[in-house]
Chain A
């Protein structure tokens, strides 16, 4: 079977050949017109004399005489009446006029092609009704390869669809209507529907990407008309990432984004995302907007199969989202139905997940030497005898690799999605159902599991010509089951497990482990921590085109988002075994069994009404809107717990202890609100000069009356240079645009009610043996608290050159965030006893560049594209609350956020002479680090810490990708890299805590006097020796796909089927690997988190 479809080099894909054959037979479309250009003979006169012959025969004759081609189907000619014609030396128009005189057919002439189609609308009283037909077709490129994802729509209607993986589409249309066929990277083609119902369309490559439509705030815009900095990725790119969290699909793909996956824990593997780095010391989270509604869902758990595009608003244009837009906005747009017959799509992938790497912890031999060295340092007898050390070194005594003993080398994940989409002119639908599961890395763990079920139903209905409504519903249930102990604990037990302790005893019984906390024993218990999250998003929307005024419409939506979380934590003692006289004796951790349950629900209602005006007058294009939006949220929670369960069988509250001291309950609530008044006007002259202005007036409940509303104006300008006359003859450049934007954005994301003196319930006290409640003052009221403001400037250039094969975009951005909401913790002394509120005090500048470049080319039969993107963002604190440091280089002002002040390591005290020569911290001894006396005062103290203007958030992130398409195969590889990032690698080491081998093996001991690191276990001041560069380059995604030939599929009723293998995080180049340290992207350098993972997946995508 496989061999049959193997492509031979240099031959036309047999699958394509076959399809072409089928097309020719069934449709008999004369596509010669597209292929040949012949001006010769067109001027010839026609001479004909025929009676009662078929139309077909006549047309054939004319073709021979004139050189004109005819486009028709056999079908359409079936109904033609016999022809009687007699002309002599007339021109073709005259001849055709006679021939078609009493036909129900008509014709149109387009250059040298004459298309035959049925008359429509002309003779309605003659009983010829307008008949909708399902038009099927296939879109190919010039090389004859199918093009998937081509948009096909009927001009002047909302009726549209797109091609599947094999370039096939179907759409309902009326004869005479025009089909608009467009795809990114190809020139638009318009085809008038004739009698034929099966089309084969060839698209020419052209103006790459410029026709692409980009989702922007409150609408869409053509990429070529964009005047703001917006980056977008489409569903195809998103689906290339096999990480469960969509957020990880953005890594290395979107210029301007700093994306880091900090954990791979199933159910909690979202990336941290900074849009153009951090520009505030306050909240740096980007605002997530799903289908126009803010904060309804994150970017993490949404089913990637449901997403059409993700757009990132990076500059001032984000301000239209008001209150929380200062850090940029990520717009997620889900798929919607298109007119056409139902398309059923099923996709499945199965992934094998494994850690990207294991930390190389000390073996027992190194461990016992290290412990004995600790004893040496403390001046006490060695814990391990020389014999024991020798035995560990020689392997006579066993060594436990706790990470490998407690963590599986791989686990599974699966994802299914079934969707149906399609529609008629009146009603269009997209329905999707998805599910995903992820396993656990813990050996023997039958509890941990992540499961998600989600659905989405996007329905659009045209009620009347002017009135349309839509209802979007999306729901998701997430079941996140974990063990009863926290990740931090569990993974720390694995990392820190002393290698001299066995993981199991007597053939498999879990041993006690480090501090009776053996992960293998933990998993054997009944304990669990289960969370059920349920999310329901509903949007009802309507649009009314106001009759009488072209371009005026009013629309609006009502969105209800409801979330409910239920958490249940069931703690049961776990059992481990202790060997006593050759027998494994069970022991349990003595914690009494307990159960805690928490139910919380949150609701968010967003209302929006918007008045739009959009019109073109000659060369002027205007679009404008004014809108009002209001969001109200509230949340409630109830919790209860009991301690003391007689039996582990019933994990319900009622079964817990009846004693009051063993029971507790609690509950709380909160609410919030925001308002946004917004107006925006866009203007374009001759598609050459573009401008957009807006003003938002935003109100946030977080601030007191009078400080509540802020004005956030902005605008952008664009100049499409390539549209200018003087560029007409510059053939190298296909398009060229410069643009600039400026605006003010707001950020209100701090705690509520800081303008009031409030008192909160806190831990109580005991009088007379009874509990009493207690009230504690909250923050001191700040009646002046108001918005954080970000002034954002961006200048960018978009260009395509070299026959549209090379496109690039580059942006320079600069922003100043002022009135940053921060606490004056640095300057207000603790002896004031004040609990400080946020105050509008900080100023931070941020600037950088981002850009991308893409190159597309056909190389023989191989379509290939390469692309790259780059982000550099560096911020600088202009004002922050800080006391004047004793030494000038310890100012945070003037340095990036997160600058660390560390001791500079000069070396290690190796001799008594060193101790005398170099000053040090109190208690310095041989084997300690020598710190540089940066302040030069002869003593080492906090003043000697010097600034390192880096932190774990990289200042540079980049990505590049390579795509190849050959015949039925497609391949893509995508790399992600980062630079200018550091992380601190500390460690614990003593008889209960094992450290990475790197720290123990390289530690100074009397036997290793040239060691680079200080004595093991010595507490060190934070220093630059332990600060490591966490730059890396990783192969983020790699995918090889194969499309099954249609000839095979059609027999089993499939339209298209694609099979793929995919790798996620397969390769990595970094500076930690050689030292056996963890993944550089890991947020906890000690490894007390779920390890970073790589995924190898096999997937299938079938369309019916």
Chain B
């Protein structure tokens, strides 16, 4: 009897277990899932179409300044004052330390090395790819161009950096590397450029925005110029200047790119607003989907540069110092005897580039917001009642509308803005003027600099005069140190807002003269119908140069992570 019950129990138990088991086994496969939103290793590197997309994604590591106000390095120089960027203020105040350097380089270190790894990954994976070799070689040249570009960016700020040409593995015992010298990094960039120049397409046949022979030549030329410069070439090794000269001359002589001749201010301005792209060698282009702002807010160049009245906030404002560096139309500096400059009527008879590059009191420009028409800009306040907003100019610090966004110097940059567009532009109205990495004029200047350093003043003057000739300015005749001085001013004036000044200050080692002085602007009052200009207006008095800042600090955490194999730049 008892046994029978046990049997019964056993049977029921068994059947219940069986039922359970059946339900369970039906689901074994449930955990085997594939990602629905991404590609695998194999599919990317065995298919030319997806591999192209991988290369495209790497281009994005070429940085452009308009996605954030930190991007406009002009605020770290004597050309401009950027009120709201802590990192720029830290730089101009001499307060860069081992922990805050990446604010100033805008996170360059890890951005560049990520792009470098992508290139290395490409080269390693492509070696085993079934895709035809010529496609691989072509795409590989794009990747190597980007890697070389990133290395140049790194070298610019940090000096010698580790040259990494293979990918690190996750399970590596350690990741320690040491820095290569400036010479080694320069040699690496030059070698890479030399190797890809024959592979890359010519500008004339290439898609606009892609790496080209010409772009690689330009990269090599600028790299060599930097490598020859005093900061990078403390022994002043002349052979470096020679190499730089040859490379820059090659770019200067490239056919297919036009530089302006006797152009007007407007024609000059058109180089930067996208209308005239004839001298652009390499640039980053924009569309509605891939915009300057890199997000949906539509805040591109106009947004950072425009005044308050255009519904922006003058994030980067030109200093009086850069304003005063522009000649009168007669070729004399305002401060020079016989220039005809009237400090109480300062914006007349200036050279064309002044009008192309700046907005100032009385400048005529389209106000895209307040009046939606062209009008004279008003940076003045009422002399007798400066607190009465309705008497003050629209662009003044006492304006009716958003006075806090008014320029702290009473100037705004015009270069790179697009007239008629507002400060936030999305959809089909998106601001799409390209950010120029290399344009031909630069290489005239680069070449001139090399020749000056090599003592060949004639060719130097010729090249400088070609630049001046773009807007019909008189030839220069200086020689010796005056020529060098004139060249440096010419370069500063021509390349303002183009991410050159910060590096020129550094590589020429002119930190004290550029940054050991306050950032000044002008205070303008309207007294009846008369404008009064006061030039003692200080926008920022907290500028101080410290020599260690010729180099950016290597992020301290990276030195720790390398177990101190990486060495820090001096002074940090």
Contact = CB atoms under 8 A, between A and B. Distances in A.
Given A378-B540, A758-B38, A769-B208, A661 B430 contact: yes
B36 A669 contact: yes
A767 B209 contact: yes
Interface string A918-960: 0001110000000000000000011000000000000000000
Contact of A922 (B16, B95, B117, B162): B95
A592 B20 contact: no
Contact of B401 (A512, A514, A632, A885): A512
Contacts of B290: 763-766, 771
B19 A830 contact: no
B94 to A, nearest CB: 6
A587 interface: yes
A410 interface: no
Nearest to A662: B427
B570 interface: no
B80 to A, nearest CB: 16
A826 interface: yes
Contact of B207 (A388, A672, A767, A886): A767
B208 A767 contact: yes
B496 to A, nearest CB: 23
Contacts of B428: 643-644, 657, 659, 661-662
Contacts of B109: 830-831
Contacts of A883: 557, 560-561
A38 interface: no
A834 interface: yes
A220 interface: no
Contacts of B541: 378-380
Nearest to B289: A771
Given A515-B402, A763-B290, A626 B20 contact: yes
Interface in A246-260: none
A552 B427 contact: no
Contact of A833 (B41, B118, B423): B118
B19 A942 contact: no
A396 to B, nearest CB: 12
Contact of A708 (B31, B44, B540): B31
B30 interface: yes
Nearest to B52: A772
A857 interface: no
A776 interface: yes
A1019 to B, nearest CB: 6
Contacts of B120: 833
B482 interface: no
B187 interface: no
Contact of A578 (B19, B401, B546): B401
A833 B557 contact: no
A668 B115 CA distance: 26
A380 B39 contact: no
Interface residues of A, number: 113
A773 B57 CA distance: 8
Interface in B203-241: 207-210
Contacts of A272: none
B31 A673 contact: yes
Nearest to A991: B404
A837 B170 contact: yes
B404 A774 contact: no
Nearest to A581: B390
B40 A756 contact: yes
A772 B99 CA distance: 37
Interface stretch (A56-64, A452-460, A777-785, A1090-1098): A777-785
B436 to A, nearest CB: 14
Contacts of A941: 97-99
Contacts of A623: none
A768 interface: yes
Interface residues of B, number: 110
Contacts of A548: 8-9, 12
A677 B562 CA distance: 45
B523 to A, nearest CB: 8
Contact of B12 (A552, A628, A778, A921): A552
Contact of A552 (B16, B402, B429): B16
A498 interface: yes
Nearest to B177: A831
B48 interface: no
B400 interface: yes
A521 to B, nearest CB: 13
A1069 interface: no
Contacts of B500: none
Contacts of B59: 765, 774
B561 A771 contact: no
A674 B298 CA distance: 43
A334 B210 CA distance: 62
A764 B289 contact: yes
Contact of B37 (A379, A580, A668, A830): A668
Contacts of B390: 579-581
A764 B56 contact: yes
A1019 B38 CA distance: 43
Contacts of B44: 759, 775
Contacts of B424: 590-591
Interface string B298-327: 100000000000010100000000000000
Interface string B332-376: 000000000000000000000000000000000000111000000
B27 A630 contact: yes
Most buried by B among A552, A701, A772, A773: A772
Contacts of B556: 942
B285 interface: yes
Given A661-B427, A765-B60, A923-B93, A828 B561 contact: yes
A209 to B, nearest CB: 36
A757 B41 contact: yes
B60 A516 contact: no
A671 B36 contact: yes
A380 B537 contact: yes
B113 interface: yes
B114 A884 contact: no
A399 interface: no
Contacts of B427: 592, 594, 642-644, 657, 659, 661-662
Contacts of A705: 32
B488 interface: no
A832 B20 contact: no
A628 B24 contact: yes
Contacts of A780: 170
B538 interface: yes
A177 B44 CA distance: 75
A987 to B, nearest CB: 14
A675 interface: yes
A673 B430 CA distance: 43
Nearest to A658: B428
Contact of A775 (B53, B115, B175, B558): B53
A992 interface: yes
A385 B381 CA distance: 14
22 contacts: A381-B523, A512-B402, A548-B8, A549-B8, A611-B17, A659-B428, A701-B30, A758-B35, A759-B44, A765-B56, A765-B290, A766-B287, A767-B209, A769-B285, A774-B53, A829-B177, A834-B117, A883-B561, A922-B93, A922-B95, A922-B546, A990-B83
Interface of A: 377-381, 383, 385, 388, 498, 512, 514-516, 546-549, 552, 554, 556, 578-581, 587, 589-592, 594, 607, 609, 611, 626, 628, 630, 632, 642-644, 657, 659, 661-662, 664, 668-675, 677, 699-701, 705, 708, 752-753, 756-778, 780-782, 826-837, 839, 883-886, 921-923, 941-942, 990-992, 1019
Given A777-B118, A833-B168, 12 more contacts: A554-B20, A594-B427, A611-B17, A630-B30, A659-B427, A670-B37, A753-B38, A827-B561, A830-B555, A830-B558, A833-B116, A883-B557
Sorted from nearest, which 8 A-B pairs have the closest CB atoms?
A379-B541, A833-B117, A643-B427, A774-B57, A662-B427, A830-B110, A661-B288, A832-B168
